[in-house]
């Protein structure tokens, strides 16, 4: 089964809705000049903003701290895979709306994706890398082709901003390591280390069966 849902930072922020101090009032801002922006998820438009409800609580899927061992900040050395914070990840989310060479990739298993994900993300579970057919499907979507000799050609590989459940989750690191082993350019792999736990802890918009 194939799993997927069907320029500088300042210039990207410039096209997003901007609120002045008077207009913003008590709004929960994403950045000083960014209140919200819109992405397309499975054919529908979603506004990304931080929850404005006083007393809002973190989604129950991520309200505990008894998780696994936190991942290192740079777990792919000596490969130069960039680790992203929220504002850097948002830059790629915005860029992906107009640039087909950028993808937002949820590397978690399909059950997690269905329950809750970041709008605009596409589902490519890390387990796809363990099956030759699924791996080739994913790589084809990632812009990777095969030569006549059966070798992967990464010359047109897309930039992938990838995430999983959070600082402690090993699913994205596992997928990135497998892509690196195949020869995927490290400059085109981006690791949002905070993942879902960081995203919901900041009150950002989510979509899925478990969305509140």
Domains of the chain in start order, with CATH, are: 76-201 (3.40.250.10)
Across residues 96-108, what is the average pLDDT?
A: 98
Confidence (pLDDT) at 4: 37
Angle among Cα 13, 10, 176 to the nearest 5 degrees reads: 85
DSSP 204: B
Among 22-36, 47-61, 150-164, top mean pLDDT goes to 150-164
Specify the higher pLDDT residue, 202 or 2. 202
Categorize the per-residue pLDDT at 83 as very low, low, confident or very high, splitting at 50, 70 and 90. very high
Each residue of 176-202: pLDDT tens digit? 999 999 999 999 999 999 999 999 999
The CA–CA distances, whole Å, from 119 to 65, 116, 164 equal 24, 9, 14
Categorize the per-residue pLDDT at 55 as very low, low, confident or very high, splitting at 50, 70 and 90. confident
CA 10 – CA 65 distance, rounded (Å): 34
CB neighbour list of residue 65: distance below 8 Å, 6 or more residues apart: none
Categorize the per-residue pLDDT at 21 as very low, low, confident or very high, splitting at 50, 70 and 90. very low
Proportion of the chain above pLDDT 70, given as a percent: 88
């Amino acid at each position: 089964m194939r799993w997927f849902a069907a320029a500088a930072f300042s210039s990207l922020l410039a096209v997003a809705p901007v609120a002045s101090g008077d207009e913003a009032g008590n709004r929960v801002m994403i950045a000083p000049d960014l209140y919200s922006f819109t992405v397309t998820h499975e054919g529908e438009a979603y506004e990304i903003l931080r929850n404005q409800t006083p007393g809002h609580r973190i989604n129950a899927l991520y309200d505990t701290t008894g998780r696994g061992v936190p991942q290192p900040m740079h777990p792919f050395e000596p490969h130069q895979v960039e680790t992203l914070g929220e504002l850097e990840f948002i830059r790629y989310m915005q860029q992906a709306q107009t640039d087909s060479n950028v993808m937002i990739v949820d590397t978690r298993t399909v059950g997690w994706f269905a329950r809750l994900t970041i709008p605009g993300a596409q589902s490519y579970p890390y387990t796809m890398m363990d099956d030759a057919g699924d791996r080739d499907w994913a790589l084809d979507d990632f812009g990777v082709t095969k030569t006549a000799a059966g070798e992967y050609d990464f010359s047109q590989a897309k930039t992938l901003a990838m995430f999983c459940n959070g600082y402690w989750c090993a699913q994205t690191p596992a997928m990135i390591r497998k892509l690196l082993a195949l020869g995927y350019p490290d400059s085109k792999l981006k690791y949002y280390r905070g993942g879902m736990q960081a995203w919901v802890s900041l009150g950002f918009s989510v979509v899925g069966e478990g969305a509140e």
